[in-house]
Structure formats: structure tokens, C-alpha cells
């Protein structure tokens, strides 16, 4: 469609996509505003607890041979009366993790811990199923849930439990830290991305009276809150997000402790990150499809309803990024023919609005945890590249959710890497690649050709935009290919257990 009508439709589609992305960018800016408006409104316990209540620590694991020992030992080191503590290892493993976990349980039992190793012969319901099965036999009034890669501090229970003096509080979430933030550029970028969520978004939502969610780990639940809200359900890939919204719809209060940090391991290879992002993205869209109609019908304040909409639909933006990538070059050529000045009134507000909110969001998150703004600024191009590069992977997840295509719960591989040191390339549990790599390679080649064209014919104003998209798709494809190749080359059975 090269005639006037085709050009008009192309530009209309381009600006529509850009406008919706700008709206989601403005929402990110709102989160920064709400964070600073409520920065000093830290939550306080309703009062002292009469006694330390009985707590069950649930450890859902599946093929975690490299990290299960670290996890169980960190739980044993929690500062809490031993007579009031129960530990459940909820083990769905089908490899030697099961024997390691059993030995750890026997060792702690000999030291006087109330610990059980509950091994299922199936993965029905995946993590949600394991948690629900464990709940049936748990003796605790409260439940601390920890994923396999977490290393909680000794004070985690004594920091969280006083907030349950308010009988309406159903869950207390702590902030994730990052054991291997400095391992590589990829882990540093992931740490910044997660900090934006945990430092800015969670704090802003909680302290401004909006809904926020349990993140699947490093949080404490009141047992009655789980039971009265319908329990753990496996009809989405984000059972944590689903239960969080159902509980808050039922009237339970949540508390977020920004200054209580539970460190964990972020993925060290691109395919591991993609697997994690696919699950989170698909699950959030599934949860939105499941619960947004009920949220809109409820008597909740409008600020809660609108925030829930943005929270549960935010990952739709990945589909828009892919559409933007496909429309960018035709739009550049058409605007060059029409004249840039005539369309600058649309381009610049949308572009700078989205860019400034992006800058403010991530720079603020790092500043608020004591990290310098200059290193963060230097990382922003890589942040932007990763967001673009992973868009095909996540757009695929969105479409699968919208089309109702079922997929299993694929856990994220962990390798017991801390700090800047650790070996992972020779270890098993390597995440499988998926079809997104082919799309990344195609789009990287497309934008490289467009760059050559732009330089050859003097479309200099387009070069920075083309370069950002090329770098995003090319770097993601290269890291994905490297991960896939190392997995195939190093160990013949390396892919086993990655599901």
C-alpha cells in the first residue's frame, strides 16, 4: 500500500501504537510520583504480638540440586523459636535433588527441627498444586514461602509477623535482593529492572492504597487468608498474582516492607531469562483475563480499579513494541516524504514523554537503594535494548494467553551463583530455547539492512532509532544462540530437567 490511503493507514497505525505505549509510559511516571508522594509513609505494626505464633516455612522445589542445600540451611538459620517453627520441603523433583533434600531433612530433624520432606510423584498443578497440598498438612497459623534460589535473612519472620497484629492483614511481602547482581551485564540489567518493580511500583501501590501482589516467594501469608480467598489455583501461570488479587478483592490488606530484603539469584543466561519472562508475562495476562471483569464490577475505588487494569495488562506493551518495530521504517520513509516538521507535534511529545518516564523510573529506583545515578544512566541503553530484544519472546506469551493456549510451568534454572563468581555453563537444567530466536535474528537482519539503507541515502535522523532496535534484537539473538549452543555442545544430557 504505497498510495495516499496506504500511507495514511500506516501512519495512523504507527501513531496509535506509539500513543498507547506513551499511556503505559505515563503510568510508569505516575508510579514515580506516587512513590515520592508517599515516600515517608512507611507502614507500622498495629501493635505487639502477645507471643510468636506457629509458622510453617514452605519450600516448593523442582530439580534444584545446586541450590537446595543453601536454601534449607538459610531457613535453619532463621531467628525464631524452634518450637514454633515447621519446615516443609515440597519436592516435585524427578532427579537427584530428591535424595539431597531428603538427607537435608533428616539432618535438620536430628537437630530438633520439625521438618518434613514431602515428595510428590507428579507435578499436578505445578507450584500451586504443591503449595495447596502442603497447606493441607501444615500446622502453622502463618506461612513463609521461599523459592529455591532465595537466601532469607535471619530476621525475616520477626520483621514480618508484627504486622499481622492487625487481624485484617493477610500477607506481608519483602523486597527481593540480588545475590549475583554483579555477575555479568545481563544480571546487572535484570537487577535494575527488578528494582524498578520492587522499589518504586510496590511501594507506590501499597502506600497509596492500591492493590499490589505477592511475588511467589519471600513473603508471609496468614493461613486463613489463603483458605478464605479460594486457596492456590493452577489455572494461571502466576498463582501468586492470582491469589493476591482474589484475597484483596475479598477485603484482606497486604503490607509491603521495602527495607526488609530477601536476596535471590537472577538468571545468568538469556534462555533462562526468557523462560522466566515468558511465564510471568503469560501468567499476568491470564490473571487479568480471569479477574479484571470481577474487579470492574466491584465497589472498589476507581483508583484501585484503574491501577489493577494497568498492572494486569502492562505486558500487552510487548505486542505493541513488536508492532512498532514493524511499522518504524515505513513510517520513517513516509514522514520523510511529508516533511518531519509537520508531524513533529506528534512525534516529540510521545517520544520525550515515554523516554523521561523511563529515565525517572529506573534512576529513581537505584537512587532509593543507595546506588549512584551515573552507573544507572550508563546502563539505560542496555535496559532499553533488552526490553526491545525480549519483546518477541514476551509478545508470544501474551498471544498464547489471549488465545487460551495451555503451557506447562517451566521453572527458572538456578546454579548457586553469588557475587561475580560462579560456574554455570557445564551444569544441567539449562533452559530450552524457543521460536523467538528466529524472529530476533530476522528482525536484527532487517534493521541492519535498514541502517545500511539509511546511511547510504542520508536518512540520518532515522539512524539512532534504527540502531536501538538493531542492537536490541541482535544482542538478544546472540545471547540466546550462545546459550543454546553451549547447552548442546558441553553436555549431551544438559537439557534434562529444564522444564
Q: Which residues are catalytic?
A: 92, 240
Rounded to 5 degrees, φ, ψ at 219 are -145, 160
CA distance 138 to 56: 6
CA distance 458 to 203: 47
Asked if residue 383 lies in contact with residue 471, where contact means CB atoms within 8 angstroms, the answer is no
What is residue 251's three-state secondary structure?
Answer: coil
What is residue 405's three-state secondary structure?
Answer: coil
The neighbouring-strand residues paired with 221 are 143, 171
Asked if residue 274 lies in contact with residue 431, where contact means CB atoms within 8 angstroms, the answer is yes
Classify residue 137 by burial, with Cβ atoms within 10 Å: 0-12, 13-18, 19+.
exposed
Enumerate residues 6+ apart whose C-beta is below 8 A from 305: 295, 296, 298
Asked if residue 57 lies in contact with residue 108, where contact means CB atoms within 8 angstroms, the answer is no
Please, what is the Cα angle at 21 between 17 and 23, to 5 degrees?
120
CA distance 8 to 226: 53
Amino acid at each position: 500500500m504505497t498510495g495516499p490511503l496506504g500511507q495514511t493507514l500506516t501512519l495512523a497505525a504507527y501513531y496509535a501504537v506509539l500513543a498507547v505505549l506513551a499511556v503505559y509510559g505515563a503510568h510508569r511516571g505516575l508510579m514515580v510520583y506516587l512513590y515520592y508522594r508517599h515516600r515517608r509513609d512507611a507502614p507500622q505494626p498495629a501493635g505487639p504480638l502477645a507471643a510468636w505464633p506457629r509458622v510453617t516455612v514452605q519450600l516448593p522445589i523442582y530439580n534444584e540440586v545446586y541450590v537446595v542445600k543453601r536454601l534449607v540451611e538459610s531457613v535453619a538459620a532463621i531467628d525464631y523459636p524452634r518450637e514454633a517453627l515447621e519446615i516443609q520441603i515440597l519436592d516435585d523433583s524427578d532427579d537427584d535433588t530428591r535424595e539431597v533434600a531428603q538427607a537435608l531433612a533428616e539432618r535438620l530433624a536430628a537437630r530438633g527441627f520439625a521438618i518434613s520432606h514431602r515428595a510428590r510423584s507428579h507435578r499436578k498443578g505445578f507450584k500451586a498444586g504443591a503449595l495447596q497440598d502442603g497447606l493441607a498438612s501444615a500446622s502453622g497459623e502463618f506461612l513463609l514461602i521461599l523459592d529455591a534460589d532465595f537466601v532469607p535473612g535471619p530476621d525475616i519472620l520477626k520483621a514480618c509477623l508484627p504486622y499481622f497484629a492487625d487481624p485484617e492483614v493477610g500477607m506481608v511481602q519483602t523486597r527481593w535482593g540480588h545475590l549475583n547482581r554483579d555477575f555479568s551485564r545481563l544480571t546487572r540489567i535484570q537487577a535494575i529492572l527488578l528494582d524498578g518493580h520492587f522499589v518504586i511500583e510496590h511501594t507506590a501501590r501499597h502506600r497509596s492504597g492500591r492493590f499490589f501482589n505477592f511475588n511467589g516467594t519471600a513473603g508471609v501469608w496468614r493461613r486463613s487468608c489463603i483458605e478464605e480467598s479460594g486457596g492456590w489455583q493452577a489455572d494461571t501461570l502466576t498463582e501468586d498474582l492470582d491469589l493476591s488479587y482474589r484475597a484483596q478483592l475479598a477485603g484482606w490488606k497486604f503490607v509491603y516492607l521495602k527495607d526488609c530484603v530477601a536476596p535471590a539469584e537472577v538468571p545468568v543466561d538469556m534462555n533462562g531469562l526468557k523462560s522466566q519472562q515468558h511465564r510471568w508475562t503469560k501468567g499476568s495476562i491470564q490473571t487479568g483475563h480471569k479477574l479484571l471483569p470481577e474487579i470492574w464490577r466491584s465497589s472498589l475505588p476507581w483508583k484501585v480499579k484503574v491501577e489493577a487494569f494497568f498492572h494486569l495488562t502492562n505486558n500487552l506493551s510487548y505486542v505493541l513494541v513488536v508492532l512498532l518495530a514493524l511499522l518504524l521504517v515505513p513510517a520513517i520513509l513516509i514522514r520523510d516524504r511529508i516533511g518531519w516538521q509537520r508531524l513533529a507535534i506528534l512525534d516529540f511529545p510521545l517520544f520525550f514523554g515515554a523516554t523521561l518516564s523511563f529515565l525517572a523510573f529506573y534512576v529513581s529506583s537505584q537512587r532509593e537503594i543507595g546506588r549512584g545515578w551515573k552507573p544507572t544512566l550508563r546502563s539505560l541503553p542496555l535496559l532499553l535494548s533488552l526490553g526491545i530484544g525480549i519483546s518477541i519472546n514476551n509478545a508470544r506469551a501474551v498471544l498464547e494467553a489471549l488465545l487460551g493456549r495451555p503451557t506447562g510451568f517451566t521453572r527458572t534454572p538456578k546454579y548457586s551463583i553469588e557475587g561475580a563468581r560462579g560456574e554455570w555453563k557445564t551444569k544441567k537444567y539449562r533452559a530450552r530455547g524457543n521460536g523467538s530466536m528466529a524472529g530476533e535474528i530476522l528482525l536484527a537482519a532487517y534493521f541492519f539492512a535498514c541502517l545500511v539503507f539509511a546511511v547510504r541515502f542520508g536518512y540520518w535522523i532515522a539512524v539512532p532509532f534504527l540502531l536501538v532496535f538493531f542492537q536490541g534484537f541482535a544482542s538478544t539473538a546472540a545471547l540466546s544462540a550462545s546459550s543454546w549452543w553451549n547447552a548442546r555442545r558441553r553436555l549431551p544430557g544438559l537439557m534434562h530437567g529444564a522444564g
